[in-house]
Structure 1
């Protein structure tokens, strides 16, 4: 395994350090139990429909075609439309979902211990694409401000990863050369491509690597112990 020798390490937040997918699914299952209107509709139908619509809306948001308020409104409104439910319930459902979603935040397996070891040995930061207030709640709940030098939230920058503006801003904050920054993330499009285009080193956390990832990432791993070994941390 090749050794990485960065001077600064940025981490993605959702599905790299924290298990967003698990929390999202658990929150949606709680929503399914909460409302009687889902009688006759399975939780799997709700999850599949929501995920399909939400993915498309985040794409529109990332391209600047819609704002965050339209995304929040449409993700449940269109889910309910496709399921044949009352679209007017979207606002209440959105509020209920966010309350449940927050109850399920937790570290990914192996992430907490590894992150703490890395932050003891390197200057670290966070870069995340989520909405500012939600991501700040996560950062505070998991006490990440105590260990990070820089926190970059895409909404506050005005662009989403992989836009160069996000990585340029983070590079300036890090105060080191681009080639001395390592970015640890799970998304090929947002993290691997964005980091590589910024001339950063990238450690891609994934169980399903694609061929192009081997050309762009300095490390591909699915076990945080491998990341520690690459950084020469016991």
Structure 2
């Protein structure tokens, strides 16, 4: 019996790719950087992914991720990388301007209120996630919100989850599930924390990382079956 659900936000409850694309294109226009093509966005996304994975491995800091990814991207595209820090600050704000739910996630979370306890667990920045959760209405549906910047540790570190459970209070880890799209962050973190894991994999990506997945779903509506 599952009594507690830990939800990832970006790429799980919300379509992060859509928000990312809209935010970067808006800022390219604001900074008069020319057209940001799909090919450029794909290159940026690849760079961004490697930086977050390095953070998860403890190789770099969050600050180095946020600015470094844009510095590298701009240098590759022949853009003055001196604007990277300021660009990132505005980017964090713009990320919350585009809200696209995955699989009608708002209604799913709302329908589970009172049936299970629900919490957000995210490595996203306070600025970006606060705006997203407020504008999407998802924040108001949760029993609590845990952001790595506030906790002082990142998923998949056990310290992150220990602090979450310490804040929640009495909790049975055998009755707790984390639902997320990242094998390296959400699922690996769930393994370390000793809780049930549910990998949201709508693209049906092949599992390559050495992690244990209890459930794999391609649509968030499948969560009902797992919780029942």
Q: Tell me if structure 1 keeps the 8 A contact 2:93–2:131.
A: no
Deviation string 1:167-199 (CA, Å, 9 cap, x unpaired) is 222233252211011111111111112112222
Could you say what secondary structure the match of 1:151 adopts?
A: strand
Alignment: residue pair count: 226
User: 2:106 touches 2:138 (CA, 8 Å); kept in 1?
Assistant: no
* 1:12 aligned onto 2:33: no
Q: What's the TM-score, normalizing by structure 1?
A: 0.83
Choose 133-142 or 154-163, whichever is displaced more: 133-142
**CA deviation profile, 1:49-72 (whole Å, cap 9, x unmatched):** 322332233234344444444333
- Do structure 1's residue 70 and structure 2's residue 64 form an aligned pair? yes
2-side partners of 1:104 and 1:151: how far apart? Answer: 20
Provide the residue aligned with 1:126 in structure 2: 120
RMSD: 2.6
SS of residue in 2 equivalent to 1:107? coil
Change (3 A) 1:45 1:115: same
Post-superposition offset of 1:222 = 1.1
Counterpart of 1:218 in structure 2 is 214
| 3-state SS of 1:37 partner | coil
Aligned pair in 2 of structure 1 residues 166, 98: CA closer, same or farther (>3 Å)? closer
Relative to structure 1, is the Cα distance of residues 50 and 213 closer, same or farther in structure 2, using a 3 angstrom cutoff?
closer
Q: Deviations over 1:78-108 (max 9, x none)?
A: 2221111222333453345344432212321
Structure 1 runs not aligned, ≥5 long = none
Aligned 8 A contact 2:6 2:121 in 1: yes
Q: Which runs of 5+ in 2 are unaligned?
A: none
Provide the C-alpha distance between the structure 1 equivalents of 2:224 and 2:210, rounded to a whole number of angstroms.
19
Partner of 2:192: 197
Q: Which residue of 1 aligns with 2:102?
A: 108
State the structure with more CA Rg: 1
Please tell me whether residue 90 in structure 1 is matched to residue 84 in structure 2: yes
- Check whether the contact 2:5–2:119 (CA below 8 A) recurs between aligned residues: yes
Q: Does the 8 A contact of 2:106 with 2:137 survive in 1?
A: no
2:25 is aligned with 1:29: yes
Q: Is the 8 A contact 2:121 2:146 kept in 1?
A: yes
| Equivalent pair of 1:131/1:153 in contact (CA under 8 Å) | yes
Q: Which residue of 2 aligns with 1:175?
A: 170
